[in-house]
Chains A and B, each alone.
Chain A
Amino acid sequence: MKSKFLKPLLVVPFIILLAFACKEKAEKSSLPKIGGAAIDFNCQDLEGQVWSLDKVRGKVVLLRFWADWCPYCRYEMPIIDKYYRKLKKEGFLVLAVNVRQSAQVALAFIAQLDVTFPVPLDPDGKMARRYGVYAIPTNFLIDREGIIREILIGEVFREEKPLRDLLKNYFPLP
């Protein structure tokens, strides 16, 4: 009689543990990689606009994860904005995702730099985690078909050249 009750009691935690293990493995294996499809996202920017992968399809997207405490993020933003303004009409989009900070912190930072690209918020870091971001800044270049073409970690756009070289593959730049 006792074993009738004990069996499910033993099986249920086992199933739960198994489910967690599978979830973790699935999350690790689904991290974005160069040549792979970009992971879908759903986030709201400082203007209240909602962004998803479907919405940006057909554009070349620089998906950038940043925070205001990162000095390189500050230096790189005006250079990125220069190319965003230049190539916006040709289909270049920058989504500068602020990771785990408040809207006020992000807004103040963006206003100081006078940059114009959309700034989605990732207040709990969920999106950054899905993209496997472990350091700030991290940039993903996503092509018009939604394929990740570059993953750039750390400071890379201090000078204009690396960004121009990167965008040359998609836009007519001198």
Chain B
Amino acid sequence: MFSLIASQKSKIKPSILLIIIFFILILVSSPTFESGGADYETVNYKGQKLSILRDSLTQAPVIIRGIESNLLEIKKFSKLSRKEITNTGIPLVSKYKSLLQIEPDQLKLKTAEKISDTWYVSYWQTFQGVIIYESSLGYAIDSRGRIKSLGALLYPYVQAPVTSKISHEKALKIGQGQIKDFKKLKCILLAESILIYPLKKKNSIDYYRVYAFNFFPEVALHPASVVGGWAVFIDTQTGKQVLYEELLKPLGCCIPEDWVPPKPEDMKPKW
């Protein structure tokens, strides 16, 4: 039997073998994502059946859906003011606090928008009042005040500095220094804030309190310009850069009143 296989193997031409290896390599190197084939679990939470998808690193829920029931039903919803609607996150987080592992007072309103008959409300998660970068908790409320599911990106056990050791001026200088031709490009500081930046590692997360700067070259501010900008995060404790990213333009965001359109030759795609 073995000799038969061996004799068959020896007949395979090297070129065919190479082709087979090539296809195996393609199959092995095809991209896969952690979220592929999302792994929902069904839990009984205080007598309520819920479907939950958790973040593999933090174990915090990314999606919570009510099975056979809504997550929350807001009474007399049609009579609520906008301000009251923007506060609906408080009873929702209170109800599912032990699942979400955050406190209601950690929410900071991101957006609240009514589209057709549905309200879409979303929040940032904060740590000691400081927004956590890319965090979110949001949901849709239908015209009858029903919240059927929520989506979230939360960080349950944040440990980060609460004060800054490096001054804003110093950090800004370091941030500007990260961009080549900063002066030549006439870069403008378009947005800045202090954030908590969760740097995800394989099995843990490092939380940095950072000065977050968004720089855009002047030429990028025109809607027709194809030039983007940069996000630079500087650690408030050490002054080291922890994030440097080229930015796409959010269109319609930023046209100053005294704008003069750039020459076409100045408009080059940046990223």
Contact = CB atoms under 8 A, between A and B. Distances in A.
B63 interface: yes
A19 to B, nearest CB: 20
A108 B228 contact: no
B151 interface: yes
B113 A135 contact: no
Interface in B127-184: 134, 136-140, 148-153
B63 A111 contact: yes
Contacts of B151: 107-113
A112 B139 contact: yes
B120 interface: yes
A3 interface: no
Interface residues of B, number: 43
A75 B115 contact: yes
A37 interface: no
A132 B118 contact: no
B35 interface: yes
Contacts of B33: 44, 46, 48, 103, 121
A82 B116 contact: yes
A89 to B, nearest CB: 21
A72 interface: yes
B239 to A, nearest CB: 25
Contacts of A129: 271
B237 to A, nearest CB: 25
A70 B32 CA distance: 26
A135 B149 contact: no
Interface string B22-34: 0000000001111
Given A46-B35, A48-B33, A134-B248, A112 B115 contact: no
Given A44-B36, A108-B62, A111-B150, A153 B271 contact: no
Nearest to B269: A134
Contacts of A134: 226-228, 248-249, 269-271
A109 B63 CA distance: 10
A79 interface: yes
Nearest to B123: A112
A118 B180 CA distance: 38
A44 B223 CA distance: 31
Interface in B208-234: 223, 226-228
B150 A103 contact: no
Nearest to A99: B248
A90 interface: no
B113 A112 contact: no
B122 A112 contact: yes
Contacts of A5: none
A104 B60 CA distance: 11
Contacts of A101: 134
B255 to A, nearest CB: 12
B251 interface: yes
B38 interface: yes
A141 interface: no
5 contacts: A47-B38, A69-B250, A78-B120, A135-B226, A154-B251
5 nearest CB pairs, A to B:
A111-B151, A48-B36, A112-B138, A154-B251, A112-B151
